């Protein structure tokens, strides 16, 4: 492998990076006093520099104003969630009335399934993907039991074909067609957390709707990572967390999308709560729930302001950088990583060691499946200042995040793996 050529390329790419300045908006962990090479944004994004200031603002307003902060804080808490709608709509390809920041991911999935999974004796089946994030599977399994069925009876899990690590989308579309009028819900991760495979959400949604099913997606590994056009694709619902690519802190406030055909319809069932009630009469404390005619009506409780303050610090960066610029760099950055790994695997030593299982339909994550010495390579990376992600039994996930990773970071990562053969 020609490392000098790779180094030169990385420097050229970095010189032409249109959003490189945003890396200064984040705080990097240090390993033995040196800035870490952080490739774990698909698990927990870095802390924005302004996060502490944003959270302290709310703590100060709380200290100085007490309950009056709901109205008189610099960002009034009563309508705190509203400040996120524009940027979340930009990131997800939605209308501002279709998105809201609230709760946590799996909580939101259950809340959304209360609306969108209403099985009958004839239409009760659910399609999901194999190796979905475990929490999604647990949620779907428990929903089937909640509705007096069983996972064995109600769930159809689409797995990769024998010998493959990723799912052939034709198998998903075929399963939707085969289930037909029995299919109630398709619920798939927009980006598979394990392999990094991006699913064609538009095609899946069209296929689901063609048989009369509801289609929703877990966007935990998609939001802030890939281009989304949820409104245009006519996705029924989606949910996400904010602590991965959205950099909003561990366990940060999550969010949902509900298509306008549902969110604007007052007859659409949802589990009701105070904060979903129309704002102009909310504090009259009436006994009848009057839903806000937007996705906000799925809110139950008032906004977790301290968590949302961290969310605000990150979303301000997305608003400045813009998703088209982020995605453009992401494709370049991941393609550079992919090309260097391909070059590395021209040597038999590395060809026998690992396989990149992430297909071309991807975001910024590449998953390396190790046939041998996976743990040793992971420890070697860690000892050399790389923070990556190990997934049992034998996968290292690498996510060069365009907002804060550089092409030089990619070069360093590959050169460190290359040095493993000399140990």
pTM exceeding the 0.75 threshold for the entire prediction: yes
| Domain annotation for the chain: domains and CATH numbers | 3-48+322-422 (3.90.1150.10), 54-321 (3.40.640.10)
Residue 184 DSSP class: E
Residues 246 and 315 sit within 8 Å (Cβ to Cβ): yes
Phi and psi (nearest 5°) for 372? -160, 150
Minimal CA–CA distance to 318: which of 88, 39, 97, 96?
88
pLDDT given at position 360 = 95
Query: What is the spatial distance between Cα 77 and Cα 243, in angstroms, rounded to a whole number?
Result: 21
Span 343-399, pLDDT tens digits: 999 999 999 999 999 999 999 999 999 999 999 999 999 999 999 999 989 999 999
pLDDT given at position 138 = 97
pLDDT given at position 423 = 79
Residues 305 and 61 sit within 8 Å (Cβ to Cβ): no
Which ranges of 105-249 would DSSP assign to H, the alpha helix? 105-116, 134-146, 151-154, 169-179, 201-210, 230-233
Give Cβ neighbours of residue 126 (< 8 Å, ≥ 6 apart): 117, 140, 143, 144, 154, 155, 156, 183, 184, 185, 186, 187
- DSSP E strands in 18-158: the ranges are 26-27, 30-31, 34-35, 37-38, 47-48, 99-101, 125-129, 155-158
pLDDT given at position 306 = 97
Residues 396 and 390 sit within 8 Å (Cβ to Cβ): yes
Whole-Å CA distances, 228 to 137, 298, 319: 23, 21, 15
Query: What is the spatial distance between Cα 2 and Cα 332, in angstroms, rounded to a whole number?
Result: 20
Structure tokens at 231: 């409104």
Give per-10-residue mean pLDDT for the chain (423 aa).
94 97 98 95 97 98 98 96 97 98 97 98 97 95 97 97 95 98 98 97 98 98 98 98 98 97 94 93 91 95 96 98 98 98 95 96 97 96 96 95 98 96 85
H or E element that contains 37: strand 37-38
pLDDT given at position 1 = 85
Structure tokens at 11: 């420097």
Give Cβ neighbours of residue 214 (< 8 Å, ≥ 6 apart): 116, 117, 184, 185, 186, 208, 236, 237
Gyration radius from the chain CA atoms: 23
């Amino acid at each position: 492998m020609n490392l000098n050529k790779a180094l030169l390329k990385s420097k050229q790419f970095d010189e032409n990076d249109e959003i490189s300045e945003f890396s200064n908006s984040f705080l990097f962990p240090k390993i033995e006093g040196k800035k870490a090479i952080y490739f774990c944004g698909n698990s927990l994004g870095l802390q924005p520099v302004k996060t502490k200031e944003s959270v302290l603002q709310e703590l100060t307003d709380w200290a100085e104003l007490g309950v009056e902060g709901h109205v008189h804080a610099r960002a009034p808490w009563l309508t705190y969630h509203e400040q996120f709608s524009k940027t979340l709509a930009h990131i997800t390809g939605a209308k501002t009335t279709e998105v809201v920041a609230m709760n946590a991911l799996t909580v939101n999935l259950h809340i959304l399934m209360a609306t969108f999974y209403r099985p009958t004796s004839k239409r009760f089946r659910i399609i999901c993907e194999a190796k979905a994030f475990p929490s999604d599977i647990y949620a779907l399994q428990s929903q089937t039991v909640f509705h007096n069925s069983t996972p064995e009876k109600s769930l159809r899990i689409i797995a990769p074909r024998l010998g493959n690590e990723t799912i052939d989308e034709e198998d998903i579309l075929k399963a939707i067609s085969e289930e037909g009028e029995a299919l109630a819900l398709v619920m798939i991760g927009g980006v598979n957390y394990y392999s990094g495979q991006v699913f064609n959400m538009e095609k899946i949604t069209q296929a689901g709707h063609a048989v009369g099913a509801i289609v929703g997606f877990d966007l935990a590994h998609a939001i802030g990572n890939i281009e989304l056009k949820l409104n245009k694709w006519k996705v029924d619902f989606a949910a996400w967390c904010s602590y991965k690519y959205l950099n909003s802190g561990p366990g940060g406030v999550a969010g949902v999308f509900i298509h306008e055909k549902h969110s604007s319809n007052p007859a659409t069932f949802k589990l009701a709560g105070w904060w979903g009630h129309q704002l102009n009469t909310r504090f009259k404390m009436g006994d009848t729930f009057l839903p806000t005619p937007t996705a906000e009506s799925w809110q139950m409780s008032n906004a977790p302001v301290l968590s949302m303050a961290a969310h605000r610090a990150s979303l301000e960066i997305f608003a400045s950088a813009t998703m088209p610029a982020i995605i453009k760099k992401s494709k370049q950055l991941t393609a550079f990583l992919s090309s260097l790994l391909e070059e590395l695997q021209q040597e038999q030593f590395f060809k026998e060691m690992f396989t990149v299982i992430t297909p071309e339909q991807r975001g910024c994550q590449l998953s390396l499946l190790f046939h041998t010495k996976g743990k040793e390579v992971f420890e070697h990376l860690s000892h050399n200042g790389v923070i990556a992600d190990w997934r049992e039994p034998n996968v290292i996930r690498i996510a060069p995040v365009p907002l804060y990773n550089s092409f030089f970071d990619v070069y360093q990562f590959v050169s460190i793996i290359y040095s493993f053969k000399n140990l």
